[in-house]
Chain A
Amino acid sequence: MRFGQRFYLIEAVQGVLLTSGHFFRNMGKHLAHALGRRDARGAVTIQYPEERRPYSPRLRSLHRLVRREDGSPRCVACMMCETVCPAHCIYIVATEHPNPEIEKMPERFDIDLGKCVFCGYCVEACPEDAIRMDTGILEFSSYSRRGMIYTKEILLSLEPVGPDGRPASPVPIPANRTV
């Protein structure tokens, strides 16, 4: 250490000057904001529930099942996603599709979000482009493990993220969320 650093007082004064510089600069910006300059911001904080950062278009958020034009799921219950899922969080029960040209459809398609690691492998593995992770919904929570299981009906009801980068559909609430 140099002598000046050993003496500490000079270093302490320099530190106080730095922090008080931040204080007065931010205080001036807060004051300008209060006086009507809405673009002046004294803090870098984002007030989360009211303000949100725009999400990246590549963000992997809550899954949704893509629908055909008649509203039935595009999924053909090929089990590719269930097989590739490293967290084993997808459960599919297949059934006959009424249309003979389409072989199968899922009777049940549950995703256990308590286990999901949001790797996106299911989206990559799907040969039918039937599952996507583009809803922009991140805020799902539950008081129980069962409440984290999202069923086919919920996943089919979701819409892709809107043009403003915000979720287009409300946060879905599973029926047994509070169980």
Chain B
Amino acid sequence: MILDVGIAFGRVMFVMMFVLNLGGLLTWVERKQSAIMQDRIGANRASILGFRAMGLFHPLADAIKMLTKEDFMPAHADRFLFQLAPFVSVFFALVAFASIPFGDTLSIAGREVQLQAVTLNVGILYVFAMLSLGVYGVMMAGWSSANNFALLGGQRAAALMISAEIAIGASIMGVVMVYGSLNLQEIVRGQGQPLLPGILGDWIPAWGIVTQLPAFFLFLTAGIAATKRIPFDMPEGESEIIGYFVEYSGMKFGMFAMADFLETVVIAGMTTALFLGGWQVPYLMADGFHFPWGAGVTLPHLLVVVLQIGSFVVKVCVMIFVMMLIRWTLPRFRYDQAMRLGWLGLFPLSILNIVVTGAALLLIGRPS
């Protein structure tokens, strides 16, 4: 009993710590990566006892600054909703990661432990439900601030979120059709199969990016839109237009910024689970490597699990790197451009992808 509780606690804590720490670290990653992309050095002045540690203390300094600043509330704001909004934003961004698997089953103390925080048969739907609920925090913030600009920002956020979520939902339908499950763990297991066993298919694992390449680009575009970051940051528009959290200050402001980073981690995790094979390492089965040219290496169970978790973490980090790269490369879309991209670009293309995938499944069959 105690062991079961401990295992459940460990699963949840791993995901929680992974997402929270990665989200906090992303402020540093964003500063440093953008600096290196632009031939700069980036923030490196915060020091503890003379140690600068490549600017790693800046997130700490930011947190201290945010916590000690004045917590301002407008006179006519809706007090309850105004306080609640940042917590709603962060909460749903945090819990969205729960059903993303970070490893295969772990056999420990006679138990089979599924390496994901929550084992859900409708894992994909859960993640999207949580991601969509996140927009409530944003709309609450815009509404309760008693500021017309914040209200407009919240409405832009809602419009953007709807157009992005529909494209996300439609683009992953192809993946669901190929692997025949809504359970993210099952989808990731399906991606370990060889693609079309035969002449060349043995060499390529059936990752989602191979079987569903158009869906990968559609999902990534819509996912970046769902994180509300540049190039889709018209809800916030930090440099020109005023966003939904214009009236927020201190750590509540920081929580909205944090929610964006957490959503980036969640979208990176989703992309990894759906398209990059999740925790799969190429040719790594439950008992070791089985290479297509016949060779094999037998590995102990624990090492396999550690390799799988490491593979998942590396893939998530690579996806975050790519998303940061896009964020620091492209300028912001205008509001109407983003709407047109969502409704007239991503959505019809996703539907087309579903039709083509269905036809291909009829003609070729599932990867076995």
Contact = CB atoms under 8 A, between A and B. Distances in A.
A4 to B, nearest CB: 15
Interface stretch (B29-37, B131-139, B168-176): B29-37
A51 to B, nearest CB: 11
B72 to A, nearest CB: 28
Contacts of B33: 23
Contacts of B53: none
A130 to B, nearest CB: 42
A148 B138 CA distance: 49
A16 B37 CA distance: 10
Nearest to B341: A8
Interface in A10-39: 12, 15-16, 18-20, 22-23, 26-27, 30
B328 interface: yes
Interface in A93-109: none
A9 interface: yes
Interface residues of B, number: 14
A19 B217 CA distance: 19
Contacts of A23: 33, 36-37, 325
A120 interface: no
Contacts of B39: 22, 26, 42-45
A27 B33 CA distance: 10
A47 interface: yes
Interface string B230-248: 0000000000000000000
Contacts of A20: 37, 325
B107 interface: no
Interface in B23-80: 33, 35-41
A15 B330 contact: yes
B326 interface: yes
A167 B135 CA distance: 58
Interface residues of A, number: 17
Contacts of A47: 41
Nearest to A18: B329
Contact of B329 (A19, A26, A44): A19
B36 A27 contact: yes
Nearest to B33: A23
A26 B217 CA distance: 27
Contact of A9 (B35, B36, B217): B217
B41 A19 contact: no
A16 B325 contact: yes
Given A12-B329, A16-B326, A23-B325, A45 B36 contact: no
Given A23-B36, A30-B36, A12 B330 contact: yes
B78 to A, nearest CB: 40
Contacts of B326: 12, 16
B36 A42 contact: yes
Interface in B290-330: 325-326, 328-330
A16 B36 contact: no
Interface of A: 9, 12, 15-16, 18-20, 22-23, 26-27, 30, 42-45, 47
27 contacts: A9-B217, A12-B329, A12-B330, A15-B329, A15-B330, A16-B325, A16-B326, A19-B37, A19-B328, A19-B329, A20-B37, A20-B325, A22-B37, A22-B39, A23-B33, A23-B36, A23-B325, A26-B36, A26-B37, A26-B39, A42-B36, A42-B39, A43-B39, A44-B39, A44-B40, A45-B40, A47-B41
- Minimum-distance CB pairs A-B, first 10: A19-B329, A15-B329, A43-B41, A23-B37, A26-B36, A19-B37, A45-B41, A44-B39, A16-B329, A45-B40
Given A22-B36, A26-B39, A43-B40, 9 more contacts: A9-B217, A12-B329, A19-B37, A19-B328, A22-B39, A23-B37, A27-B36, A42-B41, A47-B41
